[in-house]
Amino acid sequence: MKLYVTDREGNEHVVPAMPEWPLMECIKAAGLPIPAECGGCCLCATCHVYVEPDWLERLPGIEQDESNTLLEAIAARDNSRLACQIRMTGALDGLRLRLAPVP
CA atoms within 13 A on the CB side of 41: 5
φ and ψ of 37, to 5 deg: -60, -30
Question: What pLDDT, on a 0 to 100 scale, did the predictor assign at position 103?
Answer: 73
Go through the chain and tell me how many residues it has.
103
Show Cβ contacts of residue 95 under 8 Å, excluding neighbours closer than 6 positions. 3, 4, 23, 51, 52, 55, 58
φ and ψ of 69, to 5 deg: -65, -35
The low-confidence residues of the chain, meaning pLDDT below 70, are: none
Question: What pLDDT, on a 0 to 100 scale, did the predictor assign at position 33?
Answer: 92
Question: What pLDDT, on a 0 to 100 scale, did the predictor assign at position 52?
Answer: 96
Domains and CATH numbers, the chain: 2-91 (3.10.20.30)
Question: What pLDDT, on a 0 to 100 scale, did the predictor assign at position 38?
Answer: 83
